[in-house]
Structure 1
Amino acid sequence: MPVQKLDFVDRMRGLAILAVIAVHYAQMFASPTLKIIGATGQVGVQLFFVASAFTLCLSADQRAGEAHGVRNFYIRRYFRIAPLYYLGIVAYAALYISAGKGSSYTAGNILANVFFVHGVIPSANNSIVPGGWTIGAEMLFYLIFPALYWAVERSWRRFGGAALAAWLGLALLVALGWHFGYRLETGRWIANNQFPYTVFIAQFSVFMIGIVYYLAAWRGDMLAPHRLRDGLLAAAGFGLCSWVIVADVHPLYGVLPTFAGIASVFLANWLRGQSAAGASGGGWLVGIGKVSFSLYVLHFMLVWQPSAWVIHWFEGDVMDEWLIALPLFVIDVVLLYWAGRITLRYIETPANNLARALIRRLDKPKEIPAS
């Protein structure tokens, strides 16, 4: 597959991580306006999920017919996530425990994160590695992906667009069922960024949207890029998400991930249209996207510590906060990018190579001893 045709996926990841960094960065300012500007960045998580589902589908098709494909899929996914995430566990434990804020670092919570079951344990879900809830949701998606993609892809080949519409309908029913079921059970709406919002079932529709987008737009011809249409629909979708977040519309948080997933598809298609037209071909955003996982794990250390100290020097002076906001954000991104290059070289790439070596070893035919 030509690299340029797929660079839109790295650009998706680049935009996603910039949005996620922005939301946590903006939390450090006293200015309510800066906080509001950054708040919408939380939908970068759903952009990540759509990109993840798309690339997993692409990889599954490229490796179709591989011996022990499901086993190898789990090996690759584990070594893709675990080494850097384990570094995050150690680093954040050291930071918070040394600062006297380590009450959540119990043996149970740490082990839940080590074994990636923290996505179903409220006390462990987001308390060991900041933002770790997304990894919990992602790992549960990995768990079901081989069977899920097999079912969706097979039904699509047999029934075409009607099958994809049915799967989207199922995903929407799951989202609405969780949204209204929680309301009926507790008498409360799902709150933003709380455990019921972060669990896999609340995000399932986003992953399904990514799978359907891959089959409809990449393997099929149901959503050819149209830059004006895609740009307007992406802007409208993210605008709706921004309104929900900024206006704090409690009755809609349960379906906010679905809104963000749909908007992410049109943004992806807009970026795909640019790639097809030769409007990209690398560049800084693709570079950021390639190290986006490292940036996700590392960025809290920078924006919640050194950057926060700098921001607090200007706290209370709105004009000064506005003057430093953009330059300091750019500095943060540059520093994180180079830190990400280091972890990519010394952690992520060796781990991926180790996964390939393990798969080769397991696939090597066993010698039959001579009788």
Structure 2
Amino acid sequence: MVLVGHAAGFSLKALTPFVGPLAKIGVWLFFVLSAFLLTLKINASGISRRSMVEYGIGRFARIVPMYWLAVCIYFFAGSAGIDSAADLFDAALMRKGYAHLWTIPVEFKFYFLLPVIVLVVGYAGRLGVAWQVLACGLIILVCQALYPFWMTPENSIQMRWYVASFVIGVACAVLYAQSDEQPSLRRVQLVVLLTVALLVLAMPVTRNILFGMPYGPWLRDKFVFISLIWGVFLFFCADRLSGAGPGRRVFDRIGECSFSIYLIHWLVMSRVSAMAGDSVSAFIACILASIIAGMILYYTVEAPLQRIRSAGLKRFPPMPAG
């Protein structure tokens, strides 16, 4: 979704009203999904000094080295607005957001808050799963009272605006872990169809055709509602979106390389569009070239770094008792 949305902005601007907002919708899915997966992981390992140290080291090693590499690449390439030494340091220290890289500070800052939220929700769980969901709802309401979604600055690196998206992922993980029965295939298919229908209805072109609403930035601050849609989608479909065949293997490989693809695609698309102009072929080339470049970056840099990270965590000495 991010690649399609950004490729339209770079190389097929006539398509932007139709697919441009997919980029933000994809980012909000990323926020919900990351909180969903990390909540399951924290609950599985438990909250202790050792697990939290391993969690902190693991999250830093997973995100920051590749992010710093991307910042340096964009600086030397003169792209994404990282044009000076001041920009370089602001980006590296996550003090400002540049182009698509604004999402990384938001995500990284939430890593510090997530264990606290999981701990609070866990305490509420002593009274039952309904109280855990209620705790998540109260956190969302408090955050919305302090930082209402309609006042969210465009592409803000301040995590506080997006807490609701992450907490929806936490609530989804709580319900998912407590669910004993796998939803039927028919129910999953219905949820998928409803998800697609709601997202299509949220698009500017659909609202313009059906309701006469003018094109504009209406969707850019609706992340709370879109995140709720993604939360329901994940709860019902997390165990059902699987299968065999070449299509699954292709998406597995893309998913494996997705962080590298995300980091590098802005540079690739800017270069491809500069050479190929505004056309359908340039749009397709932007997407394919971004995937290829991201895969190269993954296998040459990210995968070796992940192996070092995993090996380092395995050698991590046990924490003393007490």
Normalised TM-score (structure 2): 0.82
SS in structure 2 at match of 1:283: helix
1:356 aligns to 2:315 (yes or no) = no
RMSD (Å) for aligned C-alpha atoms: 3.2
Task: Note the C-alpha offset of 1:286.
Answer: 2.3
Question: What letter is aligned with 1:358?
Answer: G
Normalised TM-score (structure 1): 0.72
Task: Note the C-alpha offset of 1:110.
Answer: 2.8
Q: Which is further off, 169-178 or 239-248?
A: 239-248
Tell me the equivalent position of 2:64: 82
Question: What letter is aligned with 2:19?
Answer: G
How far apart, CA to CA, are the structure 2 residues paired with 1:28 and 1:251? 21
SS in structure 1 at match of 2:10: coil
Tell me the equivalent position of 2:77: 95
How far apart, CA to CA, are the structure 2 residues paired with 1:60 and 1:30? 42
Q: Deviations over 1:222-258 (max 9, x none)?
A: 994622431243124323432499745667743x111
Q: Deviations over 1:4-49 (max 9, x none)?
A: xxxxxxxxxxxxxxx11112111124643x1112212121001111
Tell me the equivalent position of 2:92: 114
How far apart, CA to CA, are the structure 2 residues paired with 1:271 and 1:180? 27
Residue ranges of structure 2 left out of the alignment (5+ in a row):
209-213
Question: What letter is aligned with 2:271?
Answer: Q
Tell me the equivalent position of 1:207: 166
Tell me the equivalent position of 2:200: 239
Percent identity of the aligned residues? 22
Is residue 173–residue 235 contact of structure 2 (8 Å, CA) maintained in 1?
no
Counting matched residue pairs gives: 310
Question: What letter is aligned with 1:115?
Answer: L
1:70 aligns to 2:52 (yes or no) = yes
How far apart, CA to CA, are the structure 1 residues paired with 2:135 and 2:45? 26
Question: What letter is aligned with 1:218?
Answer: A
Is residue 28–residue 304 contact of structure 1 (8 Å, CA) maintained in 2?
yes
Is residue 29–residue 311 contact of structure 1 (8 Å, CA) maintained in 2?
yes
Q: Deviations over 1:94-115 (max 9, x none)?
A: 1117x9x655x343x4334333
Is residue 217–residue 223 contact of structure 1 (8 Å, CA) maintained in 2?
no
Question: What letter is aligned with 2:253?
Answer: G
Is residue 149–residue 224 contact of structure 2 (8 Å, CA) maintained in 1?
no
Residues 102 and 210 (structure 1), Cα distance of their counterparts in 2 relative to 1, 3 Å cut? closer
Residues 365 and 220 (structure 1), Cα distance of their counterparts in 2 relative to 1, 3 Å cut? closer
Residue pairs, 1:162-201, within 5 angstroms: 162-175=131-144, 177-179=146-148, 182=151, 190=152, 193-195=154-156, 198-201=157-160
Residue ranges of structure 1 left out of the alignment (5+ in a row):
1-18, 119-123, 183-189, 313-320, 367-371
Is residue 133–residue 199 contact of structure 1 (8 Å, CA) maintained in 2?
no
How far apart, CA to CA, are the structure 2 residues paired with 1:175 and 1:106? 36
Residues 157 and 346 (structure 1), Cα distance of their counterparts in 2 relative to 1, 3 Å cut? farther
Task: Note the C-alpha offset of 1:67.
Answer: 5.8
Task: Note the C-alpha offset of 1:261.
Answer: 0.6
Is residue 9–residue 16 contact of structure 2 (8 Å, CA) maintained in 1?
yes
Tell me the equivalent position of 2:293: 339
Match for 1:44 among 16, 26, 33? 26
Task: Note the C-alpha offset of 1:137.
Answer: 0.4
Q: Which is further off, 172-181 or 74-83?
A: 172-181
Tell me the equivalent position of 2:211: none
Question: What letter is aligned with 2:170?
Answer: I
Residues 169 and 221 (structure 1), Cα distance of their counterparts in 2 relative to 1, 3 Å cut? farther
Q: Deviations over 1:100-135 (max 9, x none)?
A: x655x343x43343334x2xxxxx222xxx311100
Q: Deviations over 1:251-296 (max 9, x none)?
A: 7743x111121121233345436337x5789432222111111110
